[in-house]
Amino acid sequence: MKKEARYLVPGDYMADPAVHVFNGKLYIYPSHDRESGIPENDNGDHFDMNDYHVFSMESMDDEVTDHGVVLAVKEIPWAGRQLWDCDCAHKNGKYYLYFPLKDKTDIFRIGVAVSDKPEGPFIPQANPIRGSYSIDPAVFDDGDGNFYMYFGGLWGGQLQRYRNNKAQENGEFPKDTEPALPSRVVRLSNDMLEFAEEPRAVVILGENGKPLTAGDNTRRFFEASWMHKYNGKYYFSYSTGDTHRLCYAIGDNPYGPFIYQGVILTPVVGWTTHHAICEFKGKWYLFHHDSVPSGGRTWLRSLKVCELEYNADGTIQTINGGGE
Ligand code: FUB
């Protein structure tokens, strides 16, 4: 594969990739963007997606295979609107698709749908996961029987409405000098359908050993959590949202704390940036999206992939997103 990023699904708008290798093949679980005519606002109402497709690749030089619609809003019993970034995990021959969706009262919850195959179709559970909230679930298989979900997103993702896993009367943001609102991490139950514990804060420490502050908006967490392991270390990566970077922090276990390291991807064309990092056939890749093919329409994004390279000390080489 060439070093420069390439678009994966030229014929349709797909975003927010989650990527895993199952049975030797690469599977991509993106959001499916569409033009619904809803005006752009800070609440993200213009991201009005109503189904998911799954894509697979035999090798990185392949074209992607589209497995079609695998889950739609109309099939989900508790659905309100807006299917945002999903992820998939495999355990004991079953595949679990985790997805954020607003319920009938316009509150984001995280649901799960199950299939016998990585390419679906997926059958949704009757209710969202008990105790779930906000958006952007990313599920990490630690290889020891434990699976962890990272989730949360600010602004339209509603994370600011919660403290200690409880909804607040007024969802207020911390002051600039206070610790930033964190992503959450939770271990999943053995049957993969519930949280096994109360979600915990994903704390990112700066060089002074203190949590990044809310005012540190070029480095603090905003949305789009992802976890991968490299050389025994845990790499938590995320979007800084309103400053449009993908950044990462490294820890010694899935719960953290994580120490801030730097930028993986500089801003792309389009407001959102979102990614997955995955090893496939001996190389590492960054999957992400931008809005170049739609002429900058930020709610119509296109999937991309490029190689990701590490330095000898385990830090990641910054990739140019082309949007600055
Ligand atoms: O696709 C809708 C939202 O945009 C996602 O949930 C965020 O991560 C951002 O990419």
Q: What is the tens place of the pLDDT at every residue in 157-169?
A: 999 999 999 999 8
Q: Are 247 and 222 within 8 A, CB to CB?
A: no
pTM of the model: 0.98
Instruction: Please work out whether the CB of residue 185 comes within 6 Å of at least one atom of ligand 1.
Output: no
Instruction: Please work out whether the CB of residue 85 comes within 6 Å of at least one atom of ligand 1.
Output: yes
Closest CA to 266 of 5, 2, 1: 5
| CA gap 152, 143 in Å, rounded | 23
pLDDT at position 1 is 45
- State which ligand 1 atom lies nearest to the alpha carbon of 47: 2
pLDDT at position 4 is 75
Q: Which secondary-structure segment (H or E) carries 131? A: none
pLDDT at position 177 is 98
Closest CA to 44 of 85, 6, 73: 85
| CA gap 179, 151 in Å, rounded | 18
Exposure of 44 in the CB half-sphere (CA atoms within 13 A): 25
Probe target for ligand 1 pocket from 41, 43, 45, 47, with the most ligand atoms within 8 Å of CB: 47
Encoding tokens for residue 209?
């050993």
| CA gap 26, 279 in Å, rounded | 9
Encoding tokens for residue 19?
């990527």
223 is catalytic: yes
Exposure of 23 in the CB half-sphere (CA atoms within 13 A): 13
CA of 156 to the centre of ligand 1 (A): 9
By DSSP bridging, strand 79-81 and strand 166-167 are unpaired
- State which ligand 1 atom lies nearest to the alpha carbon of 82: 2
pLDDT along the chain (324 residues), means of 10: 79 98 98 96 96 98 95 98 98 98 98 98 98 98 98 98 93 94 98 98 97 98 98 98 98 98 98 98 98 97 98 98 94
16 is catalytic: yes
CA of 313 to the centre of ligand 1 (A): 31
User: Annotated catalytic residue: which of 16, 33, 119, 216?
Assistant: 16
CA dihedral for 192, 17, 140, 27, sign (positive or negative): positive
Is 6-308 assigned to CATH 2.115.10.20?
yes
| CA gap 270, 285 in Å, rounded | 21
Classify 203 in phi/psi space as left (phi over 0), alpha (psi -120 to 50) or beta.
beta
| CA gap 194, 190 in Å, rounded | 8
Cβ–Cβ contacts within 10 Å for residue 89, how many? 23
pLDDT at position 169 is 81
